[in-house]
Amino acid sequence: MNRLNSVFLSLRAALAAGLVLAPCALAAPASARPETIRAGVSYYSDELVESDPVRDIGVERNYEEVFKLYSYYEVLYDESERVVRCLEYKRGDVVREDTYRYAADGLLLEHVTVPPIKEVKPVSLPSSD
């Protein structure tokens, strides 16, 4: 009887610990940002995390890893670890650039999205003479 009581108490303690710790283990971070963030340094990823309207990267990758991919992202942070610039690449070309400006209290003041402007060269058509 004493051994059964001991097993029951051990099982009960394990279940209680599992119920307390399980939600913590299952919770994912809101954004998988780089572990160490330095202002003005480029960070790369093949994943994008959009927290309206700010675009941030997912798991950080080396430039050598992402450069081989069809599409990837680059972000730069400020001293307060906020995204100030997010670039989206396709085949090595920038297809979208987002810049962010913040107020002293940390609120987003301005968000500008700019697709790159490509120079259009006139094409001469053959004459119909």
Residue 118 tokens read as 């490509």
- Per-residue pLDDT reduced to its tens digit, 4-62: 555 555 655 554 545 444 333 333 334 567 788 999 999 999 999 988 889 999 999 98
**Residue 19 maps to a domain:** no
User: In terms of DSSP bridges, do strands 43-45 and 71-77 run parallel, antiparallel, or are they unpaired?
Assistant: antiparallel
**Residue 60 maps to a domain:** yes
**Residue 80 maps to a domain:** yes
> Which pLDDT belongs to residue 20?
42
Sheet of strand 83-90: strand arrangement? 43-45, 71-77, 83-90, 93-102, 108-114
| H-type alpha helices, 27-108 | 63-67
Residue 72 tokens read as 């990837």
For residue 88, what are the domain limits? 43-114
Whether residue 114 has pLDDT greater than 80:
yes
Length of the chain as a residue count:
129
> Which pLDDT belongs to residue 23?
39
**Residue 20 maps to a domain:** no
- pTM comes to 0.64
**Residue 23 maps to a domain:** no
Asked if 86 contacts 92 with a C-beta cutoff of 8 angstroms, the reply is no
Whether residue 127 has pLDDT greater than 70:
no
> Which pLDDT belongs to residue 15?
46
**Residue 4 maps to a domain:** no
**Residue 21 maps to a domain:** no
State how many domains the chain has: 1
Residue 73 tokens read as 């992202």
> Which pLDDT belongs to residue 39?
93
